[in-house]
Amino acid sequence: MGRDEKRARRARRGWVRGLCIWLVLAAAAAAPPARATAKLPPITVTANTALLVDSDSGEVLFEKNIRERAYPASLTKIMTALLALERGKLDDLLTASATAFADMVPGGSTQNIQEGEVMTLENYLYCALISSANEACNVIAEYVSGSVEAFVALMNERAAQLGCENTQFVNTHGLPDENHYTTAWDIYLITREAMKHPEFMIICNTAAKAIPPTNKWEKERALYTTNHLISNNTERQYLYYPAKGIKTGHTNAAGYCLVSSAEKNGLYFISVVMGAREEEETKRILSFVETAELFEWGFANFSVKPLLKTTEQIREVVVEKGKEKDSVMLVPQKNLEALVPNDLEASDVDRKITPNFEGAVTAPVTRGQVLGTISLRYGDREFGTVALVASSDVERDEAQQVAEDFRNFFDRDWVKYTMAGVAALLILYVVFVIVYNARRRRARMRGNYRGNRRRQHRRR
C-alpha cells in the first residue's frame, strides 16, 4: 500500500471519528437538565416576609413573600446611610437646623440632638445606625441635599437605580406613613450596596459607642445598639456570635424588622426579616429569634463544593493533520465551585458541552487553546460557564499538509481553467508545428522534383 493511500485512509478514519464525537457532543448538549434530588429540611418562619441570601454568589437560600409590600420602619436608615457615604465625607462637620426636627413625634427613637448642635458626619451616622436616632437622619439629609424633601427624592432615585421595583420613601427615618413602603428583596438590594462601603459595616457592627461632648452636650453620649444579636448590653438571650450588624426597625404597623449578616465556616449570609411579632407567652422578639434560626439553617444545610476541576478530562477531540497524534483531550480552563445543598453531588449537576468546531480540529493545536465551553446547571439554577481547552500540543504533519495544499491548489476552479487553457494552447502549438513541418516537407519535395526535371532535360 502506497504512502498516499495510507494517508487517505487515515484521513477518512479521522473524519468518521470526528463526526461520531461531534454527534456525541451534540447529544450531550441537547440532554435535559438533571432531575433535582437535593432535599432541605423545612424551617418555620412566622414573620410576614423573610429572605436568606449567600453574600458571595447572591444565591437565594430561603424566601418568603420577598416581593410583597411591607413597612420598613427604621430599615429606611440603611438608604439614608448609603447616600451619606456615597456623597459625604465622614469628618465633615454638620449642624442640626430647626427644620431637622419638623417631623419628629413623641416616643420616636432619638439621641436628644439639639438645634445648632455640631457633630461630624461619622458621629451622626453612629447616632442613626446604632441607637436609631430619627433626627440624626434629617440632619444628614439636609447636609447631603440641602433639604429633607430633596433628599427623599434622591432616596427614591437611588432605589430605582439599584433595581428596587416596589419601594417608595417619604421620609429619611421610617416613621409610619402608608405611602412609605418597600419589600424584603428591595431592602436586600439597598443593604448589599451599602455593605460595599467598609465604614457602613464598621458602624453597624458596633455594639456601643461613646460620642465626644459637643457644643450643645457637655458629656459623652453613650450609644447602645438596638440589635440584640450583636450585643448583650440589654438582652442576653438573643446574642448570636456569628452575626455582624446590621439594622433593626419597629413600629406597630411594621412589626419587628431586622436586617443582619453572619459569617461561619467560611460562609457569609445576609438575612432580611420583616413583620415579625413578639411572642405572647415568652415575650421574645421573633425578628431576632427567627433571624438566628435562618442563619443556623443555612450554615447547617449548605456548603461550597467543587463542581468542575481543571484536572478533569471532559472529552477527546479528533485532530486532523496531526504529527504523531490524532486526538487531544479537552479539560476545563478553571475550577468551578458553588454553594449547594450538602446532599448535592457534582454528578447530580447537568453539563452542557458546546464545541466551537465541527467534526474535528485541524492541527496545529496549542496547549490551552480554547475549543469549546461547558455550562453547569441544576434545575433552574445556573452555576456558570467555563472554557474547555486543549490539554496538550499537537504539531502539524507538514508533509501531509504540503500534499493537502497541493491537492487543494489543483482543485480550485481558476487553476483548472488555467490548466485547460494551457493544455489547449499546447495542443494548438503541437498542431501548428505538425502542419508547419508537413508544409515544409511538401515544399522541399516539390523543389527536389523540379530540380530533377531540369537536370534530366539538360542531359537530353
Dist. CA 331–CA 378, nearest whole Å = 21
Whether residue 394 is predicted with pLDDT greater than 70 in this model: the reply is yes
What does the pLDDT average to over 369-386? 96
- Residues 239, 113 within the same domain: yes
CB 60 within 8 A of CB 185: no
Report the CATH number that the domain containing residue 214 is assigned in CATH: 3.40.710.10
Whether residue 450 is predicted with pLDDT greater than 80 in this model: the reply is no
What does the pLDDT average to over 371-400? 92
The predicted pLDDT at position 454 comes to 60
**Of the listed ranges 16-30, 115-129, 435-449, the one predicted with least confidence:** 16-30
Local structure of 279: helix, strand or coil: coil
The predicted pLDDT at position 203 comes to 98
- Which residue's entry shows cell 437605580? 161
Whether residue 410 is predicted with pLDDT greater than 70 in this model: the reply is no
pLDDT band for position 447 (cuts 50, 70, 90): low
pLDDT band for position 406 (cuts 50, 70, 90): low
Of the residues 276, 301, 326, which one is the last residue of a structural domain? 301
- Residues 297, 318 within the same domain: no
Dist. CA 380–CA 364, nearest whole Å = 39
Q: Is residue 79 part of a domain?
A: yes
Following CA atoms 322, 325, 326, 332 in sequence, which dihedral angle do they give, to the nearest 10 degrees?
-100
Q: Is residue 406 part of a domain?
A: no
- Residues 179, 269 within the same domain: yes
Dist. CA 12–CA 436, nearest whole Å = 51
What does the pLDDT average to over 378-400? 91
- Residues 169, 127 within the same domain: yes
- Residues 327, 365 within the same domain: yes
Q: Is residue 103 part of a domain?
A: yes
**Of the listed ranges 3-17, 22-36, 117-131, 240-254, the one predicted with least confidence:** 22-36
Q: Is residue 450 part of a domain?
A: yes
Q: Is residue 275 part of a domain?
A: yes
- Residues 317, 452 within the same domain: no
- Residues 100, 134 within the same domain: yes
Which is nearest to 79 in space by CA: 249, 238, 231, 239?
A: 249
CB 205 within 8 A of CB 129: no
What does the pLDDT average to over 381-388? 96
The predicted pLDDT at position 232 comes to 87
- Which residue's entry shows cell 446604632? 130
Whether residue 154 is predicted with pLDDT greater than 90 in this model: the reply is yes
Active site residues: 74, 77, 132
Share of the chain above pLDDT 90, in %: 75
- Residues 198, 293 within the same domain: yes
Of the residues 256, 280, 301, which one is the last residue of a structural domain? 301
Contacts of 370 (CB under 8 A, 6+ apart): 333, 356, 387, 388, 389
pLDDT band for position 30 (cuts 50, 70, 90): very low
- Count of CB atoms situated within 10 Å of the CB of 406: 10
Which is nearest to 60 in space by CA: 342, 339, 387?
A: 339
Q: Is residue 39 part of a domain?
A: no
- Residues 124, 233 within the same domain: yes
Whether residue 263 is predicted with pLDDT greater than 90 in this model: the reply is yes
Of the residues 264, 284, 301, which one is the last residue of a structural domain? 301
Q: Is residue 58 part of a domain?
A: yes
Number of domains in the chain: 3
Whether residue 55 is predicted with pLDDT greater than 80 in this model: the reply is yes
Which is nearest to 352 in space by CA: 335, 376, 329?
A: 376
The predicted pLDDT at position 438 comes to 80
The predicted pLDDT at position 443 comes to 76
- Residues 245, 359 within the same domain: no
Share of the chain above pLDDT 70, in %: 86
- Residues 264, 318 within the same domain: no
Whether residue 231 is predicted with pLDDT greater than 60 in this model: the reply is yes
Q: Is residue 169 part of a domain?
A: yes
- Residues 231, 319 within the same domain: no
Dist. CA 460–CA 458, nearest whole Å = 5
Domain of 444, in residue numbers: 412-459
Dist. CA 443–CA 447, nearest whole Å = 6
Dist. CA 339–CA 386, nearest whole Å = 17
Phi, psi torsion values for 275, nearest 5 degrees: 75, 30
CB 258 within 8 A of CB 241: no
